[in-house]
Amino acid sequence: MPETESLSVSSSMQSNAILRELPPGELEILATHLKPVALAIHYIFSEPGQEIRYCYFITSGMTSTVAVMQDGSSAEIGVIGSEGLVGFTAMLGVSISQNLTIMQVSGDGYRLEAEKLRSLAEELPHLRRAIDRFIWSSLGFYAQCAACNRFHTLEERLSRWLLTVRDRIQANGLPLTHEFLGQMLGAHRSTVTLALGVLESNGVIQNSRGKIELIDLARLEKTSCECLQSIRKLPGFPAAAHNGHLSA
Amino acid sequence: MPETESLSVSSSMQSNAILRELPPGELEILATHLKPVALAIHYIFSEPGQEIRYCYFITSGMTSTVAVMQDGSSAEIGVIGSEGLVGFTAMLGVSISQNLTIMQVSGDGYRLEAEKLRSLAEELPHLRRAIDRFIWSSLGFYAQCAACNRFHTLEERLSRWLLTVRDRIQANGLPLTHEFLGQMLGAHRSTVTLALGVLESNGVIQNSRGKIELIDLARLEKTSCECLQSIRKLPGFPAAAHNGHLSA
DNA sequence: TTCTCTGTGTTAGCTGGCGAACAGACCCGT
DNA sequence: ACGGGTCTGTTCGCCAGCTAACACAGAGAA
């Protein structure tokens, strides 16, 4: 246990990559404004066109940001886990959300007002720098998604997506329905079922109602597109975390 | 002619939306570092993995930013004309380019070292704010592209793209080959030819070697996807600029 | 238990765009 | 004015994934 921990700084803050990067002085100042929150699955952080009031440093669990079309179809453009800050776009001076961001896998985080974070970032250079770098990485994520959506098959994107989630939640059981996956991947539910069926019959994953169990991570990497590696390389983003592949 | 113009401030700087937004004091300071440059078609600003040394405020012409896959296929994720700043990602503290940015339609701009711009932005709050807002809009552009690539047909994306270019260069003759268009849209050259053929036979555009003439802008809007409107709504981005549709 | 709701499995036809290939047309240099 | 390079038009087979429809299986409520 760190002995230098102040009253407001909690050790769980170290779980977030941005907060972890801050020097103790800055973290202490920031910490007095942070409020720990439990984030339940499907919690909506922001919807297109609405104001972003709060920002959230995620410490566990995972969020998805999706672009929603007029007809209601949607495609994922970003994923944020404990490496990041939900609501980061508000740091760029426009507090309107462009996309829908929801909690994908339950977890925890720290919340504070977007406006407060913005003014703090002006005083705390390391905080500002850490957030800027996260925005940089997010831009890379968006770009990769755009290209991925254009070129890669559903099986490739699905595999990539499952591993992207795993990289963040560090667990092999993902609580997801096919319908939901379809919304993330911008594909039809039945097509997702089909693709999952192929993976299952190859022993790569295991399906059950509302849950997908990753069995063979190594093989899953092989069926996913290059985008997986590109995303893993983004500074601050989680890379492969399986210490020894789970069998084959 | 503005009588308050200082030695270093040139009136053509007003052509760039970011520079135009600056208060005279800030512009004057920034202007001493700006070097006017002519930007020829196909000029490469940055390639993936390389350092971004310079940033460019565009005053005329247009750039494209594309994501390039390992096999060489590419898809456009962003477009910058006189509304923006090429190399803006370097403002986020990482000077490595993630994508390829090239001059798409010849024009002019002002150049300065990325590092210099970054330090200036720390002293000039309006500059910083204007750049931040441009980054915000670019994020929106990237997101829209990702969804567009997933859902919309080539004809829709092509129509949207042609109008996006027109919005920026304010001219109806676009110097483009089908091959080039294919690289932007992540499609096959022959598929592009086919789609252009349909538009041409409907009298919406006119093809000639290396050039596409936009004839009926109103109809082109109809065949393009909703993304056109979304992009036009982004703060600081050019919207429809045809004062009275050209016939129909 | 039974009813209902949500989620999964599966089928069949249809289509947009890929992949590959070739002929013709335009443009420039010598 | 002729020859090679670049650009465009067109064709045809092929396949991933959409559209739509229906049957069945868990899971929770009454």
User: Is A89 an 8 Å CB contact of chain B?
Assistant: yes
Measured CA to C1', what is the nucleotide nearest B179?
D7
Note the pLDDT of residue A246: 43
Q: Examine the pLDDT at A159 and tell me if it is beyond 80.
A: yes
* Range from A13-22, A134-143, A235-244, B211-220 carrying the lowest mean pLDDT: A235-244
Chain A residue with CA closest to B227: the answer is: A69
Q: What is the CA radius of gyration of chain A?
A: 18
User: Rounded mean pLDDT of A56-82?
Assistant: 96
Q: Examine the pLDDT at A240 and tell me if it is beyond 60.
A: yes
Chain B residue with CA closest to A91: the answer is: B132
Q: In angstroms, how far is CA B9 from the centroid of its own chain? A: 24
CA A214/CA A200 separation, integer angstroms? 9
Note the pLDDT of residue B35: 97
Determine the straight-line distance between the first and last CA of chain B, rounded to whole angstroms. Answer: 38
Note the pLDDT of residue A244: 41
CA A216 – C1' D13 distance (Å)?
37
CB spacing of B151 vs A77 below 8 angstroms = no
pLDDT band per the 50, 70, 90 thresholds, residue B240:
confident
pLDDT band per the 50, 70, 90 thresholds, residue B8:
confident
Note the pLDDT of residue A5: 56
Note the pLDDT of residue A4: 53
- Exposed / middle / buried, residue A2 (Cβ in 10 Å: 0-12, 13-18, 19+): exposed
User: Rounded mean pLDDT of A120-147?
Assistant: 97
Q: Examine the pLDDT at A242 and tell me if it is beyond 60.
A: no
CB spacing of B67 vs A92 below 8 angstroms = no
CA A204 – C1' C12 distance (Å)?
28
Interior angle at CA A91, CA A53 and CA B34, nearest 5:
150
User: Rounded mean pLDDT of A38-62?
Assistant: 96
Give residue B202's identity as a one-letter amino acid code: N
Note the pLDDT of residue B175: 94
User: Rounded mean pLDDT of A19-27?
Assistant: 97
CA A222 – C1' C14 distance (Å)?
31
Q: How far is CA A121 from CA A90, A129, A130, A133, in A?
A: 12, 8, 10, 13
Q: What is the CA radius of gyration of chain B?
A: 18
User: Rounded mean pLDDT of A85-104?
Assistant: 97
Note the pLDDT of residue A98: 97
Note the pLDDT of residue A108: 97
Question: Structure pTM?
Answer: 0.94
Do residues A45 and A99 lie in contact, with contact meaning Cβ atoms separated by under 8 Å? no
Q: Examine the pLDDT at B244 and tell me if it is beyond 70.
A: no
* Range from A94-98, A144-148, B9-13 carrying the lowest mean pLDDT: B9-13
CA distance B211 to chain A (A): 25
Note the pLDDT of residue B112: 98
CA distance B127 to chain A (A): 12
pLDDT band per the 50, 70, 90 thresholds, residue A8:
confident
* Range from A182-186, B126-130, B163-167, B240-244 carrying the lowest mean pLDDT: B240-244
CB spacing of B74 vs A147 below 8 angstroms = yes
CA A208/CA A165 separation, integer angstroms? 18
How many inter-chain contacts (A to B, CB under 8 Å) are there? 102
User: Is A142 an 8 Å CB contact of chain B?
Assistant: yes
Q: What is the dihedral of CA B198, B203, B205, B211, to 10 degrees?
A: 90
Longest dimension (CA), chain A: 55
pLDDT band per the 50, 70, 90 thresholds, residue B242:
low
A10 touches strand C (CB under 7 A): no
Chain A residue with CA closest to B236: the answer is: A94
Note the pLDDT of residue A6: 65
Question: Taking the alpha carbons of A163, A167, A173, A174 in that order, is the dihedral positive or negative?
Answer: negative
CB spacing of B142 vs A89 below 8 angstroms = no
Note the pLDDT of residue B196: 97
User: Is A133 an 8 Å CB contact of chain B?
Assistant: yes
Determine the straight-line distance between the first and last CA of chain A, rounded to whole angstroms. Answer: 38
User: Rounded mean pLDDT of A137-163?
Assistant: 97
Note the pLDDT of residue B5: 56
pLDDT band per the 50, 70, 90 thresholds, residue B4:
low
Note the pLDDT of residue B9: 87
CA A190 – C1' D23 distance (Å)?
14
CB spacing of A73 vs B151 below 8 angstroms = yes
Note the pLDDT of residue A243: 46
CA distance B129 to chain A (A): 7
Tokens of A58: 């995620």
DSSP assignment letter at B81: -
Note the pLDDT of residue B132: 98
Q: Examine the pLDDT at A97 and tell me if it is beyond 50.
A: yes
CB spacing of B147 vs A149 below 8 angstroms = yes
pLDDT band per the 50, 70, 90 thresholds, residue B241:
low
CB spacing of B133 vs A226 below 8 angstroms = no
Note the pLDDT of residue B243: 47
